C-alpha cells in the first residue's frame, strides 16, 4: 500500500501529493457536466416576484437546495469520485465538514461504492450528521469547530492512507460545483450579477469560471462578518488564518482561507462582502415567509447580500444562489423569532441615540 505524507502547502491546511492546485478550466466544467447529468437533475432557476419588487430588478433564485443532499456540494463530490484513482476505492475517503461537504462525499461514496469517513465538529448540526450516516459514512465528532475536525481528518489520512477530500483545494470538486453556472447560462444567458455564499469558496469559484467568464457577469461573494477568513484573504492578499469563525451559519464556518479557491477568486471575483449573522437570520425568515422556501443560514447569505446592495441592483438581471436547505430545528426557531427582531430594533435605537448624542457633543 502506498503511503502518502503531506507536502508543502501554500495555506494552513494539509495538502497531499495527489492534490493538484491548478485551477480548473471551463473545459473541465463541461467535462464535469457530463458526469453530473448522469447522476443529478438540473436544479430550478425561478424568478422571485417578491425580491424582484424589493430590489427593482429581475431576480432569479438558483435552487441548489433541491438537490438530493439539500445542498450544492454534491455536484463536486460526484465529479471527484467519478475520477478517483482506483487505489483509493478500497481504502476509502476521508473529509471534514460542518455537514454539507460531508453529505456530498458520503452520497458520492455510496454512488460509486467507496467507503467514507467524515469528521464533524463536536457540536454539529445533528440533522446533517444523521443525513451523512444515512448515506453510509462513518462519522467522528472532533473538536470545537470545523478546523479542529479538519486537522483530525488530515492526520487520519496521513496515518491510514485514506484519500483526503479537501473542501476547496480540489479542482475536480470545483469543476463539479461549477456545473450550476452552466445551467444558469443555458436558461438565462444575459445575467448581470450573481450573488454566492462563501465558506471555502468553491461555489463562487465555479460561478466565476462559468457565468463570470462566459456572460461577463459580476460575481459577488458573501461571507458572515463573524467568519471572514476568505474575505480577508481576498481583500488583503494573504492566506493568514483568523482566530475565530463563530457564525451561526455553519456552512460559512472556517478560520482558514484556502489556496486554490483564493487564487481563483483573487483573479476573477468582482466583489467580496460580509453581512452580519442578524442579516442572515432575517434573510432566512424573509425567504420562508415570502417564497415558502426553507434555507439554512449559508444558503440565505446570497439573499442577505443582495438586500444589502439593493441600491446598486435596480434594472439588472440578478441570480441568487440558494446553496442549501439543511437548517436545524433550533436555528429555524431562531430565524423565526420575532422577539429577536425586537431586540435588534432596540439595539439599533440605542446605537442611533448614541450617535445623536455624539453629534450633539461635537456640535457643542
In angstroms, the CA 69 to CA 34 distance is 19
Which pLDDT belongs to residue 343? Answer: 59
> Helix or strand or coil: residue 218?
strand
**Side-chain half-sphere of 67: how many Cα atoms within 13 Å?**
32
DSSP states of 263-297 = HHHHHH-SEEEEE-HHHHHHHHHHHHHHH-----H
Low-confidence ranges of the chain (pLDDT < 70): 1-3, 340-364
Which pLDDT belongs to residue 339? Answer: 73
**Within 10 A of 2 (CB to CB), how many other CB atoms are there?**
10
**Is CATH 3.40.50.1100 correct for 26-71+172-338?**
yes
Which pLDDT belongs to residue 337? Answer: 87
Q: At the topology level of CATH, where does 74-170 sit?
A: Rossmann fold (3.40.50)
Q: Which helix (H) or strand (E) holds 344?
A: helix 338-363
Which pLDDT belongs to residue 359? Answer: 34
pTM for the predicted model, two decimal places? 0.92
Strands 163-164 and 93-96: parallel
**What is the C-alpha radius of gyration for the chain, rounded to an integer number of angstroms?**
20
Structural domain boundaries of the chain? 26-71+172-338, 74-170
Evaluate whether 289 touches 264 at the Cβ level (below 8 Å). no
Which pLDDT belongs to residue 360? Answer: 32
**Vertex 263, ends 259 and 265: CA angle to 5°?**
115
Asked if the domains at 26-71+172-338 and 74-170 fall in one CATH topology, the answer is yes
Which pLDDT belongs to residue 8? Answer: 96
Amino acid at each position: 500500500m502506498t503511503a502518502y505524507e503531506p507536502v508543502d502547502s501554500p495555506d494552513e491546511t494539509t495538502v497531499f501529493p495527489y492534490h493538484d492546485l491548478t485551477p480548473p478550466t471551463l473545459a473541465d466544467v463541461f467535462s464535469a457536466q457530463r458526469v453530473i447529468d448522469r447522476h443529478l437533475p438540473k436544479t430550478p432557476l425561478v424568478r422571485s416576484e417578491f425580491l424582484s419588487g424589493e430590489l427593482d430588478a429581475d431576480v432569479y433564485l438558483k435552487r441548489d437546495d433541491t438537490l438530493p443532499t439539500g445542498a450544492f456540494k454534491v455536484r463536486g463530490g460526484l465529479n471527484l469520485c467519478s475520477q478517483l484513482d482506483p487505489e483509493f476505492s478500497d481504502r476509502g475517503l476521508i473529509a471534514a465538514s460542518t455537514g454539507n461537504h460531508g453529505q456530498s462525499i458520503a452520497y458520492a461514496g455510496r454512488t460509486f461504492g467507496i467507503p467514507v469517513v467524515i469528521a464533524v465538529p463536536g457540536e454539529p448540526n445533528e440533522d446533517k450528521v444523521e443525513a451523512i450516516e444515512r448515506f453510509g459514512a462513518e462519522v467522528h465528532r472532533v473538536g470545537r469547530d470545523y478546523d479542529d475536525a479538519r486537522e483530525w481528518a488530515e492526520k487520519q489520512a496521513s496515518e491510514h492512507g485514506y484519500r483526503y477530500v479537501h473542501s476547496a483545494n480540489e479542482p475536480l470538486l470545483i469543476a463539479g460545483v461549477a456545473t450550476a453556472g452552466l445551467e444558469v447560462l443555458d436558461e438565462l444567458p444575459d445575467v448581470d450579477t450573481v450573488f454566492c455564499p462563501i465558506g471555502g469558496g468553491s461555489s463562487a469559484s465555479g460561478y466565476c469560471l462559468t457565468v463570470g467568464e462566459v456572460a461577463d457577469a459580476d460575481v459577488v461573494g458573501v461571507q458572515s462578518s463573524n467568519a471572514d477568513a476568505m474575505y480577508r484573504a481576498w481583500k488583503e492578499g494573504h492566506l493568514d488564518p483568523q482566530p475565530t469563525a463563530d457564525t451561526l451559519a455553519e456552512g460559512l464556518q472556517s478560520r482558514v482561507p484556502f489556496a486554490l479557491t483564493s487564487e481563483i477568486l483573487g483573479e476573477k471575483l468582482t466583489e467580496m462582502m460580509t453581512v452580519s449573522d442578524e442579516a442572515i437570520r432575517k434573510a432566512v425568515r424573509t425567504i420562508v415567509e415570502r417564497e415558502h422556501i426553507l434555507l439554512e443560514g449559508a444558503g440565505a447569505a446570497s439573499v442577505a447580500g443582495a438586500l444589502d446592495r439593493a441600491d446598486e441592483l435596480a434594472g439588472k438581471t440578478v441570480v441568487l444562489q440558494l446553496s442549501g436547505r439543511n437548517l436545524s430545528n433550533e436555528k429555524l426557531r431562531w430565524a423565526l423569532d420575532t422577539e429577536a427582531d425586537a431586540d435588534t430594533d432596540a439595539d439599533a435605537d440605542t446605537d442611533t441615540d448614541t450617535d445623536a448624542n455624539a453629534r450633539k457633543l461635537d456640535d457643542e
